[in-house]
Amino acid sequence: MKAKMSQQMGDSHRRFLQTMMGCAVLTGREAESLLRYCCEAHNTQYVPHKLDDFINTINSKLQPLFMQIRKGMCEDSGEQCYALVNMSQSDITRMSSDYADNELELFRKTIELIVGSENGRISSTDILNSADSLTTKKMKKSESEQLLNRLVNDKWLNENQGEYTLSTRCIIEMEQYIHTMYEDQVKKCQICHHIAFQCQICDNPACGIKIHNPCVARFFKEKTEPRCPACGEFWPHEIPSVHIDQLIREIIMFRSSREVRQSRQRGLRRERLFDLSTQMLFPHHS
């Protein structure tokens, strides 16, 4: 007989947390699948649509460690995502163990360029040109290109046909830093209330609200005369079709062993922190 899903920290919660420590970000579907797997693995009753309650239980134990599983949104698909965030470091210094000072400076410049762009995208040429003004150690073009590849592989940036955007992981983990540094430039989506970069903007100068592309597609679906939800002016932009991801990505446990090893390396510091505190916060009951 399976035990009911408890609001107390149990083995299913610990397994969920340990898995999240080894990856950068999970989509809502991946997280829901992971929840089900963890419940079944520890003979606990799986209750659909209770993911946030389950995560809140974990977060209550993570609070003394200044860590949190935080929810955000993928700007490309509109899908909810989850990432494990270090709350004690709100800026780019959290990456100092993996990147050199000049690499972090170029990443800061990349964020600044993306935030200041009209559509949340920036070309590789603009990023490489900005490397010429580094105040730390100068970087060769080949070194800058290698850094961009690393940032994409580590899921801090997305790349598509030579254009770069902030990844879901970056937006979730760096949200406080971005709001602090670019307060006057950053707005939230009028529909989902998450920070918006890849979006459409109301043409009314007195309004200027932003709406994510997937939110535009859902909000204006089947509306014959789309109007701004804030000011009521006609919405002149092309309404994208509702994005349906036909390729449901595999849950993290079944990803290739190579990707899992890379993820574990990225999460090494978090795993050490967990090892030091797990006995104190999450005592194992046999």
Domain 187-245, architecture per CATH: 2-Layer Sandwich (3.30)
E strand or H helix at 160? strand 157-160
The CATH number, out of the four listed (1.10.10.10, 3.30.1130.10, 3.40.50.720, 3.30.70.20), of the domain defined by the range 92-182: 1.10.10.10
Task: With CA atoms as reference, report the closest residue to 82 among 211, 171, 189.
Answer: 171
Structure tokens at 190: 């009028």
Q: Is 239 helix (H, G, I), strand (E, B) or coil?
A: coil
Q: What DSSP string runs through 76-110?
A: TT--EEEEEEETT--SGGGGTTTS-HHHHHHHHHH
**Chosen CATH of 11-87 out of 3.40.109.10, 3.90.1150.220, 3.40.50.880, 3.40.50.980:** 3.90.1150.220
Residue 90 is predicted with a pLDDT of 61
Q: In the numeric block, which tokens belong to residue 166?
A: 């902030």
pLDDT of residue 281: 47
Instruction: Sketch the domain layout of the chain as residue ranges.
Output: 11-87, 92-182, 187-245
In this structure, the chain runs to a length of: 286
Task: Tell me what pLDDT residue 88 has.
Answer: 76
Phi, psi values for residue 119, rounded to 5°: -120, 10
In this prediction, residue 247 carries a pLDDT of 37
pLDDT at site 273: 46
What's residue 264's pLDDT? Answer: 45
Distance CA 267, CA 181 (A): 26
Residue in the block written with tokens 């809140």: 56
Give the pLDDT of residue 144: 96
Q: At what angle do helices 28-41 and 51-62 cross, to 10 degrees?
A: 80
User: Over its length of 286 residues, how does the chain's per-residue pLDDT go in tens digits?
Assistant: 455 555 788 999 999 999 998 887 999 999 999 999 999 999 988 988 899 999 999 999 999 988 999 999 999 888 899 999 888 766 677 788 889 999 999 999 999 999 999 889 999 999 999 999 999 989 999 999 999 999 999 999 999 999 999 999 999 988 888 988 998 889 999 999 999 999 999 999 999 999 999 999 999 988 889 999 999 999 999 988 765 443 334 333 334 334 434 544 554 444 454 454 444 444 444 3
Is there a common fold for 92-182 and 187-245? no
Give me the pLDDT at residue 30, please. Answer: 93
In this predicted structure, what is the pLDDT of residue 3?
Answer: 54
Q: Specify the pLDDT at position 168.
A: 93
Tell me the pairing of strands 195-196 and 122-123. Answer: unpaired
pLDDT value of position 6? 56
CA pseudo-torsion sign 156, 19, 48, 6: negative
How many helices and strands in the chain, by DSSP H and E?
A: 11, 10
Phi first, then psi, for residue 26 (nearest 5°) are: -120, 140
Query: In the numeric block, which tokens belong to residue 187?
Result: 């707005």
- Decide: 130 and 116 in contact? Cβ < 8 Å: no
